[in-house]
Structure 1
Amino acid sequence: MNRFLRVVLWTLNCIGLIGGVLTLVFSLFAGWATDGDLPSAGVIGVSALFAVVELVVVLLAVRFTPLWPRAGAGYVVASLLWGATVSPLLVFPLAVASLELPARLGLDHFEASWGGAYPEETVKSLGVLIILFSFRRLVRPWHGLTTGILVGVGFEVVENAGYAVMGALYDPASDMDGMLSMWGLRVAAGPLLHVLFTGMVGWGIGVAVFTARRSHLWRLGVGAMWMCVAFAAHFCWNIMHDDLRVAVMALVGVALVIYPLFISVVIRAWRSARADAGYVMTDRPLVSVRQLERATVTGVEPGGHRR
């Protein structure tokens, strides 16, 4: 555990939380003060409820698996806060700047791809890396996968709820219909995409950090490879095609790659977690077998329990 990174983690999480609350309050106040279009409180409340339901479903789906690290409630809160507050706060200025590149090159079809994949995957991956070094009980490759899932779902629920509220404003008939339509589209057409993207990056970072007897170059290569996989998947998903049929075929093609890939990662991590027998700690360094007779031995199970 790195104490400096732990301080950085909670400092950024606090800044992100405060910044998110202030942004929300300012947006509502500005809309009210200028008599701008705002969805009703009921629409915002239902959208927030859907976000909570999605978050709880993902948490329960991961909590009762061998992949779950017993790192405490602080670990869960830190991961969710990074995805839900720090990531949007850092992504926005990066996205605005990165959108200029495809526009200047005349590649309008790739504006959403570059403006979304580059800043979002970079910031979320940074959070996973910091979190893995901030909690003592995160010691296995699949802990990176779980951390990525938590960061990803935190980001996804905020993004879905935000898009749903904006969708409410564009529906000519009803704010509620617009919000429900957007939630349905986000959930049905590409469910849990950020969970997949950040989960795969987390797996790569976990393998790179927690695999023993590997060179620094190997670790950098593994982490960079999975980062590129998530970036490429996100980039291809966001490409804006002029023809609707081409767009649908492209999304189906990307989905047929990323969903099976994520499932294969989960299966591999699951098997590794089930086969893990934990490790043994002693109260002093051992230089001979005889010292075991006098040493205090503590067994640490895969979940972090000591016996």
Structure 2
Amino acid sequence: MSSVSTSSPTAPAPAASAPVPARTTPGYPAYGREFFQPRSAVWWVFCVLVALGAPGVTLAVAQSFTAAKDSLLTIAPIFLITLALFAVIVLWADPYRARRGWILVVATVFGITVPTWLGIHANGHLGSITAKLLPSGMGADWGAAVSGPTSEEFGKMLGVVMIMLIASHTLRRPMHGLLVGAFVGLGFQIFENVSYAANSAPSNANDDLTGAFGVTLLRSAIGISSHWLYSAIVGVGVAFLLGRTVQRLSLVQRIAGFVGFFALGWGLHFWWNSPSPQAAAAVLMLVKILVALTCFILVARLAWRQEREFLSRADGELRQSPQARGVAVDLADPAVTSAAGTRRQRKQGLKEARKRGGRALKKSVKKARRVYLDALQAWGRRGTGVDELPTVS
């Protein structure tokens, strides 16, 4: 096949990456499924935690939810729209299609249940400890800033660690940690919004709906820099801790990376919950949102660089494999292969496609790019029995 153009990823040395162990390896579960791993102790711990967390959190919020059920049903579309909107934002931050649909659903379910359940029980105790340790009068102001990030980020991180361990043969890079973390946080965030709406419903003097509607709109608007963002950053740290990076890192580097990313996610959450002067509350809220988004973009750029390096290796290896003949795109077309490049290269590739064939060709190239990226991602899963490329002899 033709060599890659300058706008496509460069081929690496043959020894750049090692194949994933095949599912026929003795002792390795040959299920052909990504998350269903009943031979894994971690899988059972995950299932038990969700099985306990779901009824636990249901019982904890049953009274407030029941009292405000009519208002919650009325504003339910807002919750669904918010969930869909932030899911789209997270997937937009995945231009190289590293996403694993079923895994992200599982992550959302975990976020709704376990960290919420843990937070309900832990936040009060942590707030009491904070009040005792801080000078008189400061505990009430700073309790939420300490307790919220500590219990909630730990609970969400726990889910990311378990999911990354259970699906260890397909979740291999920082981008996977970012996506899993974001959807764990998104599940937590949406359920928290519903809880705040239920608790705020009786607070309005006019009617329950007004109280629930107002807090829901506010939390939906500021949710652009909320739990999904903190957990996405922590998720990248988990990927580093587990060695899920393209380059091999020493144990010290892995631990340092995890500590740094966790501290960043925790710190942004702490800053958000910290008290602000009433006169400057709105301005500080905007500053906090902008700082959080900036931090997320910087972390995402690091994950993107890792993803491009992986795609570059996968492209070079796939081209030398007979399976390349089963990929239904032209691997010599730079407009297509630039999909694995930088944002500038991707835009330039589409621009050149439109020059050559107008909107019709541009649309066709966009579709071919998805096929190309999915093929490279599937190449990285070879030997796992999960969404692999078909064998071509």
What per-residue deviation string (whole Å, max 9, x for no partner) do you get for residues 107-140 of structure 1?
Answer: 2321110121111111111211111111131111
Cross-structure match for 1:289 = none
Residues 43-58 of structure 1 mapped to structure 2, 5 A cutoff: 43-58=71-86
Higher relative contact order (CA closer than 8 Å, sequence separation 6+): 2
**Greater Cα radius of gyration, structure 1 or 2:** 2
Distance change >3 Å, CA 256–CA 63, structure 1 → 2: closer
How far does residue 17 in structure 1 lie from its aligned partner after superposition? Answer: 1.9
Cross-structure match for 1:251 = 285
Give TM-score scaled by structure 1 length.
0.81
Q: C-alpha distance in 1, partners of 2:264/2:145? A: 14
Cross-structure match for 2:51 = 14
Cross-structure match for 1:133 = 165
Cross-structure match for 2:151 = 119
Of residues 304, 319, 328 in structure 2, which corresponds to 1:270? 304
Of residues 265, 269, 277 in structure 2, which corresponds to 1:230? 265
How far does residue 229 in structure 1 lie from its aligned partner after superposition? Answer: 0.8
SS at match of 2:166: coil
SS at match of 1:99: helix
How far does residue 275 in structure 1 lie from its aligned partner after superposition? Answer: 4.7
- 1:13 touches 1:78 (CA, 8 Å); kept in 2? no
Tell me how large the CA RMSD over aligned residues is: 2.9
Cross-structure match for 2:105 = 77
Of residues 183, 208, 226 in structure 2, which corresponds to 1:193? 226
Residues 142-181 of structure 1 mapped to structure 2, 5 A cutoff: 142-181=175-214
- 1:83 touches 1:151 (CA, 8 Å); kept in 2? yes
How far does residue 70 in structure 1 lie from its aligned partner after superposition? Answer: 5.2
Stretches of structure 1 that go unaligned for 5 or more consecutive residues are 30-37, 281-291, 294-298
Alignment identity in percent?
A: 26
SS at match of 1:240: coil
Residues 28-47 of structure 1 mapped to structure 2, 5 A cutoff: 38-39=67-68, 41-47=69-75
Distance change >3 Å, CA 71–CA 4, structure 1 → 2: farther
Count the aligned residue pairs: 282
Q: C-alpha distance in 1, partners of 2:159/2:97? A: 18
SS at match of 1:276: helix
What per-residue deviation string (whole Å, max 9, x for no partner) do you get for residues 247-279 of structure 1?
Answer: 334333322321111122223433543453365
Distance change >3 Å, CA 25–CA 99, structure 1 → 2: closer
Residues 204-243 of structure 1 mapped to structure 2, 5 A cutoff: 204-209=237-242, 210-211=244-245, 212-241=247-276, 243=277
How far does residue 61 in structure 1 lie from its aligned partner after superposition? Answer: 3.9
Cross-structure match for 2:22 = none
Stretches of structure 2 that go unaligned for 5 or more consecutive residues are 1-34, 322-326, 328-374, 382-386
Cross-structure match for 1:306 = 388
Q: Which deviates the most, 154-163 or 46-55?
A: 46-55
